[in-house]
């Protein structure tokens, strides 16, 4: 983990999850949709990928099953970690300007 509190693989996962695809700008407040188990003893419960498990364990993401589909949402600590990720010199903020604006507006509210 660098100064962001996120590992490089976690940063890559966040860029992949929230990149602009087909003209759609996903929002951090929409969360990350989680797959669900289709069979077995965990049938119907969210299947939490390894890339998300570490973020949940460190308190950067929180899993919510309140309404379908289950999602993982960033906690305030997670939002701060994402904000620090944007400040890094090697990060291309131009491609993720929609997220930068969202993170900055949340920082102003705090």
Residue 2 lies in a domain: no
Residue 81 lies in a domain: yes
pLDDT of residue 97: 79
Would you state the structure tokens that stand for residue 81, as one six-digit string? 């970690």
Using CA atoms, how far apart are residues 103 and 28, in angstroms rounded to an integer? 8
What's the domain range around 26?
Answer: 8-109
Residue 1 located in a structural domain: no
Could you tell me if residue 46 is inside a domain?
Answer: yes
Cβ atoms of 52 and 66 within 8 Å: the answer is no
* pLDDT tens figures, 28-42: 888 898 999 999 998
Supply the DSSP symbol for 35: P
Asked if the structure places residue 55 within a domain, the reply is yes
Q: How many CB atoms lie under 10 A from the CB of residue 102?
A: 20
Q: What is the pLDDT of residues 34-91, one digit of tens each?
A: 999 999 998 889 999 888 999 999 999 999 988 889 999 999 899 888 888 887 777 7
Query: Does the predicted TM-score (pTM) go above 0.85?
Result: no
Q: At 22, is the pLDDT very low, low, confident or very high (cuts 50, 70, 90)?
A: low
Based on the structure, what is the number of domains in the chain?
A: 1
Question: Does 68 map to a domain?
Answer: yes
The angle, 0 to 180 degrees and rounded to 10, between the axes of the packed helices 76-87 and 8-18 is: 100
Structural domain contains residue 100:
yes
């Amino acid at each position: 983990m660098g100064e962001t509190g996120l590992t490089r693989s976690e940063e890559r996962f966040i860029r992949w999850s929230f990149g602009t695809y087909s003209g759609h700008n996903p929002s951090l407040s929409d969360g990350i949709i989680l797959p669900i188990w289709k069979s077995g003893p965990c049938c119907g419960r969210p299947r939490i990928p390894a890339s998300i498990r570490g973020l949940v364990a460190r308190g950067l993401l929180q899993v919510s099953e309140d309404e379908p589909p289950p999602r993982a949402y960033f906690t305030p600590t997670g939002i701060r970690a994402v904000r620090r990720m944007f400040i890094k010199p090697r990060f291309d903020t131009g491609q993720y300007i929609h997220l930068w604006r969202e993170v900055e507006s949340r920082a102003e509210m705090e």
